[in-house]
Amino acid sequence: MSLTVVNPLDERPLPEGSAPPRLASVGGARIALLDISKGGGEVFLDRVDALLRERYGVSEVLRFRKPTFAKPAPEAVLTDIREAQPHAVIEALAD
Amino acid sequence: MSMLANGVTAPPVPGLTLSGPTLLAFFKTDCPACHLALRYLDGLSRSIGSGDRVVAVSQDERASTDELMRSLGADLSLRFDHDLAASAGFGLEAVPALFLLDESGRVLASSQGFDKADLNRLGGELAKLLEVPAPELARPGDGNPDFQPGCVSRHLEPESDAVAAEIPDLYSRRAGRASRIDLPADADAEEWCYESGYADPLPVVPPTVGRVERMLAASGLTPDEVVAHVPPNFGAASAEKIAANAVMAGCRPEYMRVLVPAVRALCDERLDIHGVQGTTHFAAPLAIVNGPVRLELGFACGSNVFSNAARANSTIGRALQLILRNLGGAAPGRIDMSTMGNPGRFSFVIGENEEVSPWGPLAEDFGIAAGCNAVTFFCAEPPRPVSEHKAREPRVLLRAICPVLANLWSYRVCKRSEAVVVIGPEHAATLDRGGFTKRDVVEFLFENTGVPVSEYDGDGGEGTHEAGYYDECVIRGMRCYRKFRRPESIRVMVAGGPAGKFSAVLGSWATGPRGSQMVSYQFE
């Protein structure tokens, strides 16, 4: 006789998502950098900032910061990023 | 324009004729703070009973509003502000927005955003006007945050063609039923569960319909009742899903009495299990059980308290971990990217040895009276051992604990960690004989735990850059930085077996409002 089990998993379908189209070039683009406020993040992002401008001709680098890496970005930070209308956002994820 | 002031006569709300004091609640269907407020307003409306005394005003269409009410299990009197003229007339900036009106339509009180204190105040004033007993509306520590900012009112939203991202479902009270799966006749049930991704790497008890129903019956909840939404994926922990995971972990049905409030506490926003689920750090949620339930269900509080001594500890802890993984989505290597992990990720539950403790229980630190059942969570590193077999005097004994505390997180990092110090019974007896109260223990540990200033010699290691912000003190004649921010950063409890002069120290993850805060929940 076969057994019947109760599904113990979250059964919602995974939300579908896809990466936005890649920029053809970052030359002249406005790029946002999101520092998640992990120690050393600003050191890394300062270098990325400089490289984007010097090596890739990015016209403007905008800097944003989460108040803590331990929690999701608050709506205010996301709103600030959206309102700045960057062509792309780079999130410095961790350490 | 700002919110209507008290004393001003409010503009009309479509379809509403005031027939007495009325609490109006403007909301929109895609606002999580509104969902939260509506749950409590529904409770208020039910307790008051007849008439349109609590009226929810939707800024959206009927279909999405009805769908929201269904998911919340709410039965509120509804009105619709389709053209958003009332929203503008009331001067809303954010929703939820509450207005208490008298029969003539004058504003008596108002509130914006979700705020338990405001809800209780407005609900209390409404009850007073209606001359009915004030209902107990929003209690602290009921699993929901005390405050949550609202969302911008629909009439102030910028015009855009953009499609909003789907918001996580945080506050619905009813979930769909779990599906039933018929296993192939020749399947080995244990292997089938493993292959289906139900389990940690240990074998599970297959969650058969009969077993899950027995577990569910013991909870007294309906199968679709949602106890919490488990971060980071916010899967609904319905009673049925909790029961299925409890079966798999090997729980007995009576353990649901602890497991259900434990799931609620585990998902309390203050604990920030969201962050702990995804950290590279060692942290795992440690559950500490207080009260008579420890003896009634056979929790280990004595020998081997941190290991495999009792079914209640081991299986409830495992059920919590399976729930985090199966409903929250934190499987190792996917969301859970801990560098080293933590043996507590299999199971991490201890009981306090209240019978031998000279002091009050840990939950008392969080306002829960001795003698009550409680589960307290602390996101903890694995235990660090303390051995002190020679000390006969409290200060000598506590000196052995201080250097272990000084090493938490990283030796030269100060003012970041919190700690739970689990005092073994023999050590507790030494402290008690020396006349030390729990407060004395905490204060001694706070005052005497530091890192010598000479360790900060400019090598640039972790913790050295922030030294300017540390508090300097002198410990046994040596200039030090104080390890802890305040005495309350150290919590003391008693557990472990009768023989052996050992204690244990557990360090924290990120702490405070920007990290994880300990939470303690009382239950029957």
pLDDT score of B102: 94
Please report where in the chains the tokens 């971990």 appear, as a residue.
B321
Bridge partners (DSSP) of residue B147 are B115
pLDDT bucket at B97, cuts 50 / 70 / 90: very high
Residue B254: partners with Cβ closer than 8 Å, 6 or more residues away: B218, B297
Chain A CA closest to residue B189: A3
Shortest alpha-carbon distance between residue B466 and chain A (Å)? 11
Shortest alpha-carbon distance between residue A17 and chain B (Å)? 10
Asked if the structure places residue A79 within a domain, the reply is yes
pLDDT score of B144: 82
Shortest alpha-carbon distance between residue B179 and chain A (Å)? 5
pLDDT bucket at B461, cuts 50 / 70 / 90: very high
User: Residue A10 is nearest to which of B185, B212, B233, comparing CB atoms?
Assistant: B233
Cβ distance A10 to B236 less than 8 Å, yes or no, reads: yes
Which one is predicted more confidently, A93 or B456? B456
Which one is predicted more confidently, A16 or B229? B229
B131: which DSSP letter?
Answer: T
What are the tokens at A23? 């920029």
Asked if B390 and B337 count as a contact pair (C-beta separation under 8 A), the reply is: no
Does the bond joining B332 to the residue before it have cis omega, within 30 degrees of 0? Answer: no
Does the bond joining B232 to the residue before it have cis omega, within 30 degrees of 0? Answer: yes
pLDDT score of B140: 78
Q: How many domains does chain A have?
A: 1
pLDDT bucket at B159, cuts 50 / 70 / 90: low
Query: Is B188 within 8 Å of chain A by CB?
Result: no
pLDDT score of B30: 87
Residues of chain B numbered 190-209 and touching chain A (CB < 8 Å): 193, 197-198, 206-209
Domains observed in chain B? 22-156 (3.40.30.10), 184-382 (no CATH), 383-518 (no CATH)
Handedness of CA B299, B303, B305, B311 (dihedral sign): negative
Query: Is A18 within 8 Å of chain B by CB?
Result: no
Residues of chain A numbered 55-84 and touching chain B (CB < 8 Å): 67-72, 75
Average the pLDDT over B510-516 and give the result. Answer: 92
- The SS3 assignment for B184 reads coil
Shortest alpha-carbon distance between residue B30 and chain A (Å)? 14
Asked if the structure places residue A8 within a domain, the reply is no
In tens, the pLDDT along A15-43 reads 666 777 888 899 999 999 999 988 778 88
Asked if the structure places residue A14 within a domain, the reply is no
Element containing residue B39 per DSSP (H, E): helix B32-48
Asked if B375 and B262 count as a contact pair (C-beta separation under 8 A), the reply is: yes
Average the pLDDT over B9-25 and give the result. Answer: 93
User: Residue A4 is nearest to which of B181, B197, B243, comparing CB atoms?
Assistant: B181
B417: which DSSP letter?
Answer: -
ipTM of this complex: 0.80
Asked if the structure places residue A50 within a domain, the reply is yes
User: Residue A70 is nearest to which of B176, B241, B515, comparing CB atoms?
Assistant: B515
Shortest alpha-carbon distance between residue A21 and chain B (Å)? 16
Query: Out of B62-76, B380-394, B439-453, which region has the weakest mean confidence (pLDDT)?
Result: B62-76
pLDDT bucket at B160, cuts 50 / 70 / 90: low
Mean pLDDT of chain B: 94
Query: Out of A6-15, B161-170, B268-277, which region has the weakest mean confidence (pLDDT)?
Result: B161-170
Provide the percentage of residues in chain B whose pLDDT is more than 90.
84
Task: For residues B373 and B294, give the distance between their C-alpha atoms in angstroms, rounded to a whole number.
Answer: 8
Asked if B225 and B143 count as a contact pair (C-beta separation under 8 A), the reply is: no
pLDDT bucket at B224, cuts 50 / 70 / 90: very high
Residue B422 has pLDDT above 90, yes or no: yes
In tens, the pLDDT along B46-92 reads 988 877 899 999 999 999 999 999 988 899 999 999 999 999 999 99
Top residue of A2, A4, A9, A37 to mutate, by most chain B CBs within 10 Å, is A9
pLDDT score of A40: 79
Query: Is B167 within 8 Å of chain A by CB?
Result: no
Residue B376 has pLDDT above 70, yes or no: yes
Average the pLDDT over B355-366 and give the result. Answer: 98
Amino acid at B111: S
Q: Is B415 exposed, middle or buried (0-12, 13-18, 19+ CB in 10 A)?
A: middle
Cβ distance A5 to B183 less than 8 Å, yes or no, reads: yes
pLDDT bucket at B285, cuts 50 / 70 / 90: very high
What residue spans of B150-292 are helical by DSSP H?
A: 189-195, 209-219, 239-249, 256-266, 273-278
Average the pLDDT over B285-313 and give the result. Answer: 98
Shortest alpha-carbon distance between residue B204 and chain A (Å)? 12
pLDDT bucket at B162, cuts 50 / 70 / 90: low
Asked if the structure places residue A71 within a domain, the reply is yes
Cβ distance A70 to B207 less than 8 Å, yes or no, reads: no
Amino acid at B224: D
What are the tokens at B319? 């059920």
Residue B163 has pLDDT above 70, yes or no: no
Residue B307 has pLDDT above 90, yes or no: yes
User: Residue B181 is nearest to which of A7, A15, A70, comparing CB atoms?
Assistant: A7
Cβ distance A67 to B510 less than 8 Å, yes or no, reads: no
**Chain A residues in contact with B209 (beta carbon < 8 A):** 4-6
Residue B504 has pLDDT above 60, yes or no: yes
Shortest alpha-carbon distance between residue A88 and chain B (Å)? 17
Task: For residues B241 and B251, give the distance between their C-alpha atoms in angstroms, rounded to a whole number.
Answer: 14
**Chain B residues in contact with A73 (beta carbon < 8 A):** none
Query: Out of B113-117, B360-364, B436-440, which region has the weakest mean confidence (pLDDT)?
Result: B113-117
Residue B164 has pLDDT above 60, yes or no: no
Bridge partners (DSSP) of residue B516 are B511
A55: which DSSP letter?
Answer: T
A-B C-beta contacts closer than 8 Å = 94
Residue A60 has pLDDT above 80, yes or no: yes
pLDDT score of A95: 63
Cβ distance A9 to B197 less than 8 Å, yes or no, reads: yes
pLDDT score of B53: 93
Asked if the structure places residue A55 within a domain, the reply is yes
pLDDT bucket at B459, cuts 50 / 70 / 90: very high
pLDDT score of B161: 55
Asked if the structure places residue A16 within a domain, the reply is no
pLDDT score of B436: 98
Average the pLDDT over B219-236 and give the result. Answer: 94
Query: Is A15 within 8 Å of chain B by CB?
Result: yes
**Chain B residues in contact with A81 (beta carbon < 8 A):** none
Top residue of B179, B263, B466, B469 to mutate, by most chain A CBs within 10 Å, is B179
Task: For residues B424 and B495, give the distance between their C-alpha atoms in angstroms, rounded to a whole number.
Answer: 5
E strand intervals along B28-93: 54-58, 77-80
Does the bond joining B140 to the residue before it have cis omega, within 30 degrees of 0? Answer: no
pLDDT score of B143: 77
pLDDT score of B49: 80
**Domain encompassing residue A61:** 30-92
Asked if the structure places residue A39 within a domain, the reply is yes
User: Residue B275 is nearest to which of A4, A9, A71, comparing CB atoms?
Assistant: A71
User: Residue A3 is nearest to which of B176, B183, B274, comparing CB atoms?
Assistant: B183
Chain A CA closest to residue B244: A8
pLDDT score of A70: 87
pLDDT bucket at B166, cuts 50 / 70 / 90: low
Task: For residues B188 and B154, give the distance between their C-alpha atoms in angstroms, rounded to a whole number.
Answer: 54
